[in-house]
Amino acid sequence: VSFNSARFLISASKLDECPPDYGAEVAFAGRSNAGKSSALNAITVNGKLARTSKTPGRTRLINFFSLNKENMHLVDLPGYGYAKVSRDMKDDWQKHLGHYLNERRCLRGLVLVMDIRHPLTEFDQMMIEWCEHNKLPLMILATKADKLKFGQAKTAMLGIANKLKKYEYVEHLVMFSATSKLGLDECRSVLTNWLET
Ligand code: GDP
């Protein structure tokens, strides 16, 4: 599979608007501002790809991107943590996201993007627990690593790894930077593995 030719396919606000549930896909989640769009753009070498997901009106939707092989997708899940959304909108968000995560058979793995300086937020914990519960492989990208000195980044990674020891389905923890491309090869190889096996 090649990530270079990823293209926006469709936005879905609920499960029955998603593309047919066959093939293989990997979904990306992250708290708002964690760096999820930048990570997706770096992975797909497309400066604009995930901006699609930030277009007003699409920020709360599940956005599908097709890869070069038929029925292979990367999926951008709506970010969580907008300061101004109402309680109802949050409930709505959880419901539709929950449906997608629970029902989607072709989902092979989840990528959780977190800021290496603010790791393991409440949202992150929730997603990790959900993966454990559903036996879904998880890759964590500790992104914006370029914002720290290498020694600090290493220390932060050790701290995160320590807290993740107890989780069986956290398969990969990657020090990442969309800016410097650190961790990009590793991340792509995990995605390839998930999508092709
Ligand atoms: P999203 O809300 O999770 O999609 O976050 P964005 O990808 O839009 O990133 C939020 C902010 O962090 C933006 O200002 C990005 O330019 C910045 N950012 C994202 N990734 C990196 C990174 O790896 N390094 C640095 N230095 N900044 C980043």
Ligand 1, pocket-test mutation among 38, 114, 116, most atoms within 8 A of CB: 38
Q: 28 CA to middle of ligand 1, Å? A: 14
Question: Does residue 100 carry a pLDDT above 60?
Answer: yes
The letter for the amino acid at 156 is: A
Distance 37 CA to ligand 1 centre (A): 7
Full set of structural domains in the chain with CATH: 7-196 (3.40.50.300)
Closest Cα to atom 25 of ligand 1 = 144
pTM greater than the 0.90 cutoff: yes
**CA-to-CA distance for 76 and 25, rounded, in angstroms?**
11
User: What span, in angstroms and rounded, lies between the C-alpha atoms of 68 and 172?
Assistant: 24
- Which atom of ligand 1 is found nearest the CA of 50? 4
Q: Which atom of ligand 1 approaches the CA of 54 most closely?
A: 4
Is the pLDDT confidence value at 58 over 90? Answer: no
Say how far apart CA 127 and CA 43 lie, in whole Å: 21
User: Could you tell me whether strands 138-143 and 107-115 are parallel, antiparallel, or unpaired per DSSP bridges?
Assistant: parallel
Classify residue 80 by its DSSP letter: B
| Nearest residue by C-alpha to atom 17 in ligand 1 | 35
- Which of ligand 1's atoms lies nearest the C-alpha of 30? 3
Name the more confident of 183 and 126.
183
List, for residues 109-161, the tens digit of each pLDDT value: 999 999 999 999 988 998 999 999 999 999 999 999 999 999 999 999 999 99
Q: Whose CA is nearest to atom 27 of ligand 1?
A: 144
Rounded to whole angstroms, the Cα distance separating 50 from 105 reads: 23
Please state the ipTM of this predicted complex.
0.99
